[in-house]
Every structure is written in structure tokens, then in C-alpha cells.
Amino acid sequence: MLDGLATFGAAFAVFANFTTLFNVAWATLIGIVIGALPGLTATMAVALLTTLTYRMVPEQAILVLIAVYVGAIYGGSRSAILLNIPGTPANAATTLDGFPLAKQGLAGEAMGLATSASVLGTIIGVLFLAALAPMLAEFALSFGSYEFFWLAIFGIVIAGQMTSFEDALKGWIIGFLGLLVAMVGQEGIHAEPRFSYGNSDLAGGIALIPALVGAFGFAEVLSVMKERAAEMAARTVDRVVPGLADLWRYKRTIGRSGLIGTIVGIIPGVGEDIGAWVSYGAARRASKEADQFGKGSREGLIAAETGNNAAIPGALIPALTLAVPGSAPAAVLLAAMFIHGIRPGPLIMIEAPEFVYQVVWMVLLATVAMGVFGLALTRPLLTVLRVPRERLMPVVFVLCVIGPYAISQRLFDVYVMLFFGVVGFILREMKYPMAPLVLGIILGDILDKNLRRALVLSDGDLTPFFTRPVSAVLWVTTALIILFALPPVRHATARMMGWNKSA
């Protein structure tokens, strides 16, 4: 415990300089702007910035990416409140009460509450990050190949289920397609090329960043240009700084939403958007003013914005300790860590314990910057929302093309980006979630190596896959998730429990 505190204190020394302040400031601001612009998501922001920061020293590069991540998830609340369009998917629940508040002439108050809730949510999440990450890393040291195999399957199944709740089948399909994408190229045990058919580019594999820039960048450009342009709800704003009494009144909601957001963030591949929805749902059930939800409830807005920001540190917990990302932007962050020579996973508390605490500081610094910019730059940020998409999207697409190229210097990655952009757009139009795809691409290697290693260890005997304690917990949970997603079982359970359809 004391060792942890000492390492935590020492970790700050890395950031006690002017470069840090400068990087946190511009990166958080860029994150807020990107998040506020409809169609530009946090995942895309982190992916594009990865390409812009790979020449920086690792600590500063990851700091920039985390600041962009935190800023973008918060920034999305701006367009949710003012345009009724979530700036990122994480802010979808924010529109329900944020936009009605703006229409009542309370846009400034709504933005102030969203800012405070986001700051408090991130702080709650970061406390859990500091406390849980070392424990989880220590626990994960007992994981063998059997457990990592089940963790990969569990991750895909639960991410597929939670990101596509009404239609888990589509979530699973996209997750397993992600795993299949990861099979292209040289495999990790014998370096044998798979599905490459003599093509040296394919033998190098499909890199995560080009695929993500395509699925979250190019696909978004296509979606944004296809949709009708949005109208802003408020052109002027009222008081922005929220009253402390308001926040104190909703302390239970803030605490609950922070906890829920963090837990949802920890679940592999299930990130800020689900964190916000689950927090919002829980707040409505517990609220004395439930009838106000959806009509401009301050409590609803606070719950959604606390929940989504708390999911950020939550998503970093498994990313750091298991190398399994808790959300799509965390997946890109994980890839960026590998690019910078940092190796997240169970050994991180042995090999680089200071890095975990540095991440805690990074999130805290970004949170402070987010709060300051959020309250101080309300009016300039309104101007950003007035930039017409016709003038913004071509510049975004230029970055989508050059970003992946800059990392590997091969045009093949530009074509990968285009392919995933078009496929991602089509799948999105057919209501497939994208987060399990990202998780699949990340988990493919873990699944591949660990299944084969485990089979070698047991000489083909499947018994240890089911009998080892952690494996048993993982496969039973996975099986239950699949079972309860089957429509006949869901309907039977709902009948037995007396739930009606509207509940």
C-alpha cells in the first residue's frame, strides 16, 4: 500500500514540466473539439492522434492520447445538448435531457452540469483505476493459457451482447469477424502466413489503426455526408458555472453513476456509450422525479455524463492489466502503447508499475484541463459547432488517408482503411455495432496463441478448459450470457419474473 503511494507520488515527477502542461492543454482541447463535432468519435480521435504522436516520447504520447480520449467523450455532450445529436455515441443518453434543457433556454446550465458531471465521473473512475488495476494485475498473474482463451471468448460474447442488446447475434457476428481479421498474416507461433496467398502486404497482417480509422473515420465521413444537416437549439447561452447546491442534491446519482460507469468500462469492449445508458436507466429507476426524465431532467443529464466519463478509467483497467481493452478508444490506446514499446498485461505491475500510476496522473491532468476548458470556453466552442460539415469532412478524410500511411509508410494501409470504411458503413447501416470488431482484432492474437498453447499443454484434452476455477467461472458466465440472449429463454424468463414488455 505504502509502496503504491510512493510510486504514485514518484510517477508525478515525470509530468512536472512545461511540456506536459502544453501537451495536456492542446490535446484535451482538440479532444473536446473533435468530440463536439458530430460524426467525429473518440475512437477516431485517438486513432488519428496515434499517427500524429508516434514520434513523441512514450509518456507524452500516451498522455496526449488519454487527454484526447477524455476530452472527446466530454466534448460530445456539447452537440448532444445544442444539436440533439450526440457528438460521440457515448453522449446519446445526454441528448434525452440535455436538448430539452437547451430548448427551455437553459443550454448554459446544461453544459455546466455536463462539465461538472464529466469531471466527477472521471475522478470516481480514476480512483477505481488506481485501486483496482494493481489488484487485477496481481490476480491475472495466475491466468494461464486456458484462462486467456476463455477471456477472449468471454470478451467477444459479452461485448456483442451489451453493444447490441436487442440483437446480440449481430454483436457476436461482428466480434467473431474481428477475430477472423486478426488471423490474416503471419501467425505468432510458427510465423506461417495465413490467408495471404503470396501477397507480402497481407502476410504482414491487418493492422488495427488503419482498420479503425476506416471503420470509425471514413465510415463516419460517409454517414455524416449522407444525413441531413443539423440545426442548433441555442445561439446564446445562459450561466455556465453550475451551483454547488445542484451537484450536492444529486450526490447519490453522481456516486451511483460513477460506480456503474466504471464497472461497465471494465467489461471488455463495452465502453462509454453503454456506461451512460446503464447509469441513466439506474438513475431513472431510483429517482423521485422519474417523470421528468426525457423532458429536461438535470438528474438524467448528470447520470449520463457521469456514467460515460467514469467508463474511461474503467476501460483502462483491463487494458493495462490484461491487455484486453474495455472500450473501442481504449483498444486504440492499447495499440498505441504497443507501438511505443509499452507492454500492458498481467506483468505490468512487475515490469513497469510506475506506468500504471502515470496513467492515473494522465487521466487526472486531462480531467482538470477538461473542466477548465469546458467552463471557460463555452462560447468559442459554439463557433466550432457552426463549421459546415462540407468544409470539415474533406480535411478529416485527408487525415484518415495520411494517418495510417504515416505509421507504416505503405499504401496498403490506405487501402485497408478504405475497405474497412466501406464495410463499416454498410454494417452500421444494417445495425451492427462496431466495438466488438475492434475487440476482435485485438483479441485475435490472444485467442490464437492461447488456444494452441493450452491444447499442447493438455495434449488435446479439453477437460482443463472446463475444470480450472477461473476458466470455469469464465465459461459458465459466457454460456449464461448466450443462453439468456436466446429469444425463447428471454421470453420465458420475462414471463416467469413477471416482467412486461415495457419494463
Binding residues for other proteins, rule: CB under 8 A, are 52, 55, 169-170, 172-173, 176-177, 179-180, 183, 187, 189-190, 192, 194-195, 218, 221-222, 225-228, 388, 390-391, 393-395, 397-399, 401-402, 405-406, 409, 411, 414-415, 417-418, 422, 430-431, 447-448, 451-453, 455-456, 459-460
Alpha helices in 289-434 (DSSP H): 298-322, 328-339, 348-351, 353-376, 378-385, 389-408, 411-429
Q: Which lies closer to other proteins via its Cβ, residue 104 or residue 223?
A: 223
Instruction: Please give the DSSP secondary-structure letter assigned to residue 143.
Output: -
Nearer to other proteins, 12 or 405 (CB): 405
Report the residue number, 85 or 237, with the smaller CB distance to other proteins: 85
Smaller CB separation from other proteins, 151 or 222: 222
Helix (H, G, I), strand (E, B) or coil at 193: strand
Query: Which residue matches cell numbers 503504491?
Result: 4
**The cell 469492449 sits on which residue?**
269
Select 406 or 472, whichever has its Cβ closest to other proteins.
406
**By C-beta, is 213 or 234 nearer to other proteins?**
213
Q: Smallest distance, Å, CB 126 to other proteins?
A: 31
* Residue 186 phi, psi dihedral angles, 5° rounding: -65, 130
The answer to whether 178 and 193 have CB atoms below 8 angstroms apart is no
For helices 328-339 and 58-83, angle between their N-to-C axes, nearest 10 degrees: 160
The nearest distance, CB 401 to other proteins, in angstroms, is 5
Rounded to whole angstroms, how far apart are CA atoms 339 and 183? 20
Identify the H or E element spanning 161.
Answer: helix 145-163
Residue 412: all three cell numbers together: 496498403
Q: How far is the CB of 451 from other proteins (least distance, A)?
A: 6
Q: How far is the CB of 156 from other proteins (least distance, A)?
A: 10
Taking the complex as a whole, how short is the minimal distance between the CB of residue 113 and other proteins, in angstroms? Answer: 34
Min dist CB 430 to other proteins, Å, is: 5
Radius of gyration (Cα) for the chain, nearest Å?
22
Q: Tell me whether residue 330 or residue 399 sits nearer to other proteins (CB atom).
A: 399
Closest CB to other proteins among residues 236, 409: 409
Q: Shortest distance, CB of residue 497 to other proteins, whole angstroms?
A: 22
Smallest distance, other proteins to C-beta of residue 460, A: 6
Residue partners of 362: CB distance under 8 A and separation at least 6: 15, 62, 63, 66, 67
Coil/strand/helix, residue 307: helix
CA–CA distance, 410 with 425 (Å, rounded to integer): 24
- φ, ψ for residue 106, nearest 5 deg: -115, 35
Does residue 411 contact residue 405 with C-beta atoms inside 8 Å? Answer: yes
Euclidean distance between the first and the last CA atom of the chain, given in angstroms as a whole number = 44
Please, which residue, 131 or 398, has the CB nearer to other proteins? Answer: 398
Q: What are phi and psi of 185, to 5 degrees?
A: 105, -175
* Nearer to other proteins among residue 55 and residue 285 (C-beta): 55
Looking at 181-301, which runs of residues are DSSP E strands? 185-186, 193-194
Name which of 1 and 430 has its Cβ closer to other proteins.
430
CA angle, 321 as apex, 307 and 305 as ends, to 5°? 10
Beta-carbon count within 10 A of 13 CB? 11
Minimum CB distance to other proteins, residue 87 (Å): 20
| Nearest distance from C-beta of residue 421 to other proteins, angstroms | 8
Q: What are the b/e assignments for 161-177, b being 16+ CB within 10 Å?
A: bbbbeeebebbbbbbbb
- Cβ at position 468, least distance to other proteins in Å: 18
Selection from 438, 445, 434 nearest residue 178 by Cα = 438
